[in-house]
Amino acid sequence: MFHKRKILYTIFLIFIFSFLFTGSATAVTLFNDTIEQGDGYQINNFVIDVTEVFASQEAATLRIYEGESDDDDYVYDPFLSVGDSYEFDIEDEEAEITLIDVYSGVVPRAKLLITVTDDDFINSNTEGVVDGGHSEAEYSLTPVLKISKSVDNDNINVGDVVRVTVTVENTGDGEAQDVVFSDPQQPKFILVDDILGTPGRMDVAVDDSPKKIYVYDLKATEAGTFSLNPTTASFTNSVGETFPEVSSNSPTVIVEATEDLVNATLDINTELDAYSVERNSEIQGLLRIKNTGTTSAEAVTLKLIIPDGLEYTGGDPSIEEISGVPTIYLDSFGIQQEKEIDFKLEAKEIGTYTISTESSYMYDDGVNPELQEVSSTSVTNKIYVTKGEYDYLFEQPVYVYAVPLVIIGGIVGWIYYRHKQYKF
């Protein structure tokens, strides 16, 4: 019986202790130390100033400020004696201040125990002892950057220049610091003048007038409707908190085609005098070039790609064989200029072939700083090489040729012998 009562008593004690320890674990101790008079302890935007320490009376006066406030603009001002506590709410959590002790001296001090029911809401950047109290505290403010991108003309022609201006404005309650802007390159436009240059890392204060960060000129190179890529910025606030990247708007620019853009267009045509020939026949070819564009072509290169069954046998002096490929090179080919280049081929093998003409040239379109390069390939109609008139001669066994040749050789030899016999 005694044992039974003893066991029940033990279980009860364990339950009691467990309950007690579980309840005390919910309060988190933030601070348990001394603070000099005039200093404070910051929890986010709240600062607990130790206003005055009364060592002789073992009491102290505290003032609790929220945000940047004047000295008299406090929220709470508890007067605590040693051993007293004061509770107040911070961002839906409950904080408790207990005056543990006071100390006299040149600078009186108070030992405080500060606990909160949960410290998850506390920003580590804004937590701790603040020398000088609330007036020296750094508060976590929220900068809001607004980036605006604008163009001076949203309807231009190809080749026209449009001026792009990007501004930034901080509409938040705190300075944006370490702001880094990024302005991606704009396709279909070329940068012709960067007036302000690339902005460096900067701070953007609140309520400043919009600040120009980019001013540059773009030249449109192609017709179409284009949305300019947005300018982005990354930044932190004064306490180093990183905020999500912000982007500017994307102004739309309509670029219309213009006749001022010039090009060189080479019409290349390769014709042959016959497309069905017998083997070993000659084929006359004619390469016609005409520049139907609006500017001259430069570095014109034409390559005649002759298949194996055909053989290039000669042609216009302007044709050079480079690595076995008949090639024509023209430094410049003017507007509406025409040229005819003849060449000769020999059909070597029976088969069906085509001749490719690979062309490449460059021109200045008057817009882009680089020369425009054009490459193309044209192919002739099919060329049918059939058996030659005497091909059947070569289809016979060797003796078919050898025997007559021997006979003819014998006859010739005999005639020569006879001629020598009778030549006086």
Partner 1 sequence: MLNILIIGNGQCGNRILDAINREAFGKKSRLAKFYSQQKYKSNVQTIAINTAVNDLKEMKFTKAKDRIHIPHLHGVGANRNVGKHVFEDNKTHILRQIEDRGNFDVCFVITSASGGTGSSFTPLLVKELKEKHDYPVYAIVVLPFREEGTLYLQNAAFCLRDVRESGVDGIILADNQFLKQMGGNVESAYNGINDMIAKRLLFLLDALDSEMMMVTDLGDFKTVMGGGAGLATIGFYEADTEMPVRTAIQNALSPSGLLFSSNVYDEASRAMIIIKGDKERLSIDEISTEVEKLSSAVGHVFKGIIVRNGELPQVLAVLTLESASELESLYSIAVDAIKHEKEKKERVSNVKEVDRAFSQIDGMDPSY
Would you tell me which residues interact with partner 1 (CB under 8 A)?
414-415, 418-424
Q: What minimum distance in Å lies between the beta carbon of 307 and partner 1?
A: 50
Q: What minimum distance in Å lies between the beta carbon of 410 and partner 1?
A: 12
Q: What minimum distance in Å lies between the beta carbon of 419 and partner 1?
A: 8
Q: What minimum distance in Å lies between the beta carbon of 411 and partner 1?
A: 8
Q: What minimum distance in Å lies between the beta carbon of 413 and partner 1?
A: 11
Q: Are 241 and 124 in contact (CB under 8 A)?
A: no
Q: What minimum distance in Å lies between the beta carbon of 424 and partner 1?
A: 4
SS (HEC) of the chain:
CHHHHHHHHHHHHHHHHHHHHHHHCCCEEEEEEEEECCCEEEECCEEEEEEEEECCCCEEEEEEEECCCCCCCCCECCEEECCCEEEEEECCEEEEEEEEEEECCCCCEEEEEEEECCCCCCCHHHEEEECCHHHHCCCCCCCCEEEEEEECCCEEECCCEEEEEEEEEECCCCCEEEEEEECCCCCCEEEEEECCCCCCCEEECECCCCEEEEEEEEEECCCEEEECCCCEEEEECCCCCEEEEEECCCCEEEEECCCCCCCCCEEEEEEECCCEEECCCEEEEEEEEEECCCCCEEEEEEEEECCCCEEEEEECCCEEEECCEEEEEEEEECCCCEEEEEEEEEECCCEEECCEEEEEEEECCCCCCCCEEEEEEEECCCEEEECCCCHHHHHCCHHHHHHHHHHHHHHHHHHHHHHHHHCC
Comparison of 121 and 417: residue with beta carbon closer to partner 1: 417
Comparison of 20 and 415: residue with beta carbon closer to partner 1: 415
Comparison of 393 and 415: residue with beta carbon closer to partner 1: 415
Comparison of 402 and 412: residue with beta carbon closer to partner 1: 412
Comparison of 16 and 412: residue with beta carbon closer to partner 1: 412
Q: What minimum distance in Å lies between the beta carbon of 388 and partner 1?
A: 33
Tokens 């006066």 belong to 61
Comparison of 399 and 422: residue with beta carbon closer to partner 1: 422
Comparison of 22 and 421: residue with beta carbon closer to partner 1: 421
Comparison of 195 and 408: residue with beta carbon closer to partner 1: 408
CA–CA dist 230, 147 (Å, integer):
9
Q: What minimum distance in Å lies between the beta carbon of 401 and partner 1?
A: 23
Q: What minimum distance in Å lies between the beta carbon of 422 and partner 1?
A: 6
Q: What minimum distance in Å lies between the beta carbon of 282 and partner 1?
A: 38
C-alpha closest to that of 150 among 160, 161, 164, 162: 164
Comparison of 4 and 420: residue with beta carbon closer to partner 1: 420
Q: Are 262 and 293 in contact (CB under 8 A)?
A: yes
C-alpha closest to that of 143 among 113, 176, 169: 176
Comparison of 3 and 419: residue with beta carbon closer to partner 1: 419
